[in-house]
């Protein structure tokens, strides 16, 4: 069986054949200009990572690396069936929804003395124990508990087979971001975010890439972020960033797709429209990055060191911050373990 195209090549392949999602040249330029104006701020650096997630532990401990692994292994499908019925977790007086409920639940468990970042523990924890860790503060539970339990225990067992920590596991790829992604998807089944599009096997690898980018964020905060090939990573194709790209004009959906999403139609993982939304998001961010680097070269006479992961680190909180203005653009709904 031929190996799938890597995410960047997949994005281009999909964008060139897409029927319902289109990358818009003008919007790409607009976003590049917006990012150009932010080029000297923390918003476009890896150090913006910690700022974006106040619940992340201090980066100096190796526990922070296991924390990243636990979070990214269960980082999928937080959208509620009904907007009014969101799973909520309150931690230290702040009530969180969405992805942050996971971070808050893990922080709460650590405070309660549960060794949730120890692979020896989470590789064999029961579903009931995980249910207790991820408990909601209202009647709406966090979705997909069974799947979260399955992927976390599987991931823990893989870490135990490779030195017993995420640090020892990932060090097998040296300091190369591309090799890290390849290692993760080879060894941990739940990270194989792949599909078939027009007869071609493609990959999107949202969680594998975000795991490497988060690892880089922690190492960068320690002053040890000399990871090569970070530019090989693409954006992390989920359901929040595509919405921001449509809002900013870098992506356009056909009326037919808009109608289907507005009706709340559930797209299955691998559905053509779902693959187009994610693939075109990847390709539009690649073009934004190219355009941004061109601006930096032309106007500043400098080499651009902004990669797609950093652009994603900016766009995701941007989407959260502007969610009210973006409410008229529907997010696509796919219940799966990949994002």
Could you read off the pLDDT of 271-320 as tens digits, one per residue? 999 999 999 999 999 999 999 999 999 999 999 989 999 999 899 989 98
Catalytic residue among 72, 193, 214, 238: 238
Q: How far apart are CA 166 and CA 128, in angstroms?
A: 24
Contact residues for 280 (Cβ-Cβ < 8 A; gap 6+)? 11, 14, 15, 18, 21, 22, 23, 242, 251
Annotated active-site residue 238? The verdict is yes
Q: Cβ atoms within 10 A of the Cβ of 31, count?
A: 25
pLDDT value of position 153: 98
- Average pLDDT for residues 239-267, to the nearest whole number? 97
Which pLDDT score, from 0 to 100, does residue 84 have? 85
Q: Highest-confidence range of 75-84, 217-226, 253-262, by mean pLDDT?
A: 253-262
- What residues does 202 pair with on adjacent strands? 5, 195
Strands (E), the chain: 21-23, 89-91, 94-96, 194-197, 200-203, 251-253
CB contact at 8 A, 235 and 285: yes
Residue 47 pLDDT: 67
Q: Is it the case that residue 200 has pLDDT exceeding 70?
A: yes
6-56 pLDDT, tens digit per residue, is 999 999 999 999 999 999 999 999 999 999 999 988 888 776 655 668 898
Say what the pLDDT of residue 59 is: 86
The pTM of this model reads 0.95
Range 92-98 average pLDDT: 96
């Amino acid at each position: 069986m031929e190996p799938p195209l890597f995410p960047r090549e997949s994005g281009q392949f999909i964008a060139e054949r897409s029927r319902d999602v289109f990358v818009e040249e003008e919007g790409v330029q607009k976003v590049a200009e917006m990012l150009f104006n932010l080029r000297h701020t923390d918003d476009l650096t890896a150090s913006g990572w910690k700022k974006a997630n106040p619940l992340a532990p201090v980066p100096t401990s190796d526990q922070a690396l296991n924390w990243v692994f636990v979070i990214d292994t269960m980082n999928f499908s937080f959208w509620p069936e009904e907007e009014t019925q969101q799973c909520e977790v309150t931690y230290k007086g702040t009530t969180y929804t969405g992805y942050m409920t996971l971070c808050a639940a893990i922080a709460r468990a650590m405070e309660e003395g549960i060794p949730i970042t120890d692979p020896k523990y989470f590789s064999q924890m029961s579903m009931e124990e995980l249910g207790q860790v991820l408990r909601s503060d209202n009647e709406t539970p966090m979705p997909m508990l069974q799947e979260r339990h399955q992927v976390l225990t599987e991931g823990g067992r893989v870490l135990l087979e490779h030195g017993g920590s995420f640090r020892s596991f990932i060090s097998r790829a040296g300091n190369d971001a591309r090799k890290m992604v390849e290692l993760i998807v080879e060894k941990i089944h739940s990270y194989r975010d792949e599909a078939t599009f027009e007869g071609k096997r493609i990959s999107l690898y949202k969680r594998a890439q975000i795991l490497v980018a988060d690892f880089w964020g922690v190492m960068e905060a320690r002053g040890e972020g000399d990871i090569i090939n970070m530019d090989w990573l693409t954006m992390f194709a989920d359901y929040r960033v595509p919405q921001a790209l449509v809002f900013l004009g870098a992506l356009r959906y056909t009326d037919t797709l808009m109608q289907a999403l507005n009706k709340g139609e559930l797209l299955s993982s691998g559905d053509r429209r779902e693959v187009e939304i994610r693939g075109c998001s990847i390709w539009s961010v690649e073009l934004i990055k190219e355009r941004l680097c061109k601006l930096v070269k032309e106007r500043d006479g400098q080499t651009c060191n902004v990669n797609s992961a950093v652009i994603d680190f900016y766009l995701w909180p941007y989407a959260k911050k502007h969610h009210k203005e973006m409410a008229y653009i529907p997010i696509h709904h796919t219940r799966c373990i990949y994002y």
